[in-house]
Amino acid sequence: MSDENLKVTPLRDAHLAAGARMVAFAGYSMPVQYRDGVLKEHLWTRQHAGLFDVSHMGQARLRGVSPLSAFEEVTPGDFIGLKPGKQRYSVLLNRQGGIVDDLMAGRPDGEGLFVVVNGACKDNDFRVINDELAGQVRIERLEDRALLALQGPEAAPVLAPHAPGAAALAFMDTATMTAFGVEVVVSRSGYTGEDGYEISIPAREAPRVWATLLEDGRVRPIGLGARDSLRLEAGLPLYGHDVDETVSPIEADLAFAVSKKRRAARDFPGAARIVKELEAGPARLRVGLKVLEGAPAREGAQIADRAGAVVGAGTSGGFSPSLGHPIAMGFVPPALAAVGTVLSVIVRGKAQAAEVVAMPFVPHRYVRKLKG
């Protein structure tokens, strides 16, 4: 896609002014890194607070008579039981139990559902939801909003003066509140494994809010490169790489997204396949790999057993700035998925030693329960 055909977020000029290197991503011109580079941006987020522009993501309100129960027709989560002020990670399923996309859906003000989906998938996601739930749900796409992610151990104290209500939120809480002088939707969540927030704001206010946050010495702008290495260390899948429409939540190690109530009812798309995989085990599993020697194993690298037979393929991989060695994710048969299993990854035709390790590679630091 040429630069002329790429969409831009409301923060494009701010990215260029900050020295960003822009790349095509999900149909948008997005910053892959700034002047500090990916390694420093990654470590800064782990130590302080990183500010990400994720305005390419799809934001929408689902409205209707019973949007919570309707949403259960396309996802395996318990949304009828979702309380106001809470949000839930889930997956949009096709009728074969494959993952159309992964998403966040919450009730920041108790009205309908506030949904955030992946940027590259949003048009298809909203088409699927509309086709499957026609007459039950009205999709209100929020094209006039930007989305910022403030992530890292210092995110909470940075945001507190601008959004006093944010301090009361714990992990996966969400609320509509006044912040930076405007009405925003804030959730205590993100995709880095760190504590932090996602902030949905009117697009016209995005440059001002971005600049205000960067006035704080604890905050630096972070690009897509570090966002990817952070989510990899956190063991979080990237849609289109680690999961797609052929992969079930069980194969993807996302069984937690299938609620116990829904498992018992078997009332979601692809339930027969997914329940069978829960009971008998899937044919493959997403695992974490520590690469013990050589270069990083990127997406597509073959995974072999101790005898040298190819048993799977890598889906994400790279050098871990926090750990100081390469890590990867990929699919292998369940018999080879146990932590400690010795495998190898084939990089440039050479077998490199690897072993299955527990995910996340770097412990999550979500604030699940507030002190006091």
Q: Can you give the residue ranges of every domain in the chain?
A: 3-58+143-233, 283-357
Give the whole-angstrom CA distance, residue 236 versus residue 229: 10
Q: What phi, psi does 40 have (nearest 5°)?
A: -65, -35
User: And the tokens for 296?
Assistant: 């990083």
Which residues does the chain have with pLDDT short of 70? 1-3, 370-372
The reported pTM is: 0.96
Interacting residues of 225 by C-beta distance below 8 A, sequence separation 6+ = 32, 33, 38, 41
The predicted pLDDT at position 1 comes to 47
The predicted pLDDT at position 59 comes to 98
Give the whole-angstrom CA distance, residue 122 versus residue 138: 16
The 8-class DSSP code of residue 84 comes to: T
The predicted pLDDT at position 254 comes to 98
> Which residue type does 71 have?
F
> What digits encode the pLDDT tens for the residues 110-139?
889 999 999 999 999 999 999 999 999 999
The predicted pLDDT at position 322 comes to 98
Give the bridge partners for 304, in sequence order. Answer: 310, 344
State the Rg of the chain over Cα.
20
Report which secondary-structure segment, H or E, holds 289. strand 285-291
Tell me the CA distances in angstroms from 56 to 102, 206, 302, one per residue in order: 15, 13, 32
Interacting residues of 288 by C-beta distance below 8 A, sequence separation 6+ = 235, 327, 328, 329, 356, 357, 358, 359, 360, 361
Give the whole-angstrom CA distance, residue 21 versus residue 27: 16
- Is 283-357 a domain of CATH 1.10.760.10? no
Q: For residue 28, which of 60, 54, 59 has the smallest C-alpha distance?
A: 54
> What digits encode the pLDDT tens for the residues 235-252?
999 999 999 999 999 999
The predicted pLDDT at position 241 comes to 97
Instruction: State the CATH class of domain 3-58+143-233.
Output: alpha beta
> What digits encode the pLDDT tens for the residues 191-203?
999 999 999 999 9
The predicted pLDDT at position 170 comes to 97
The predicted pLDDT at position 370 comes to 65
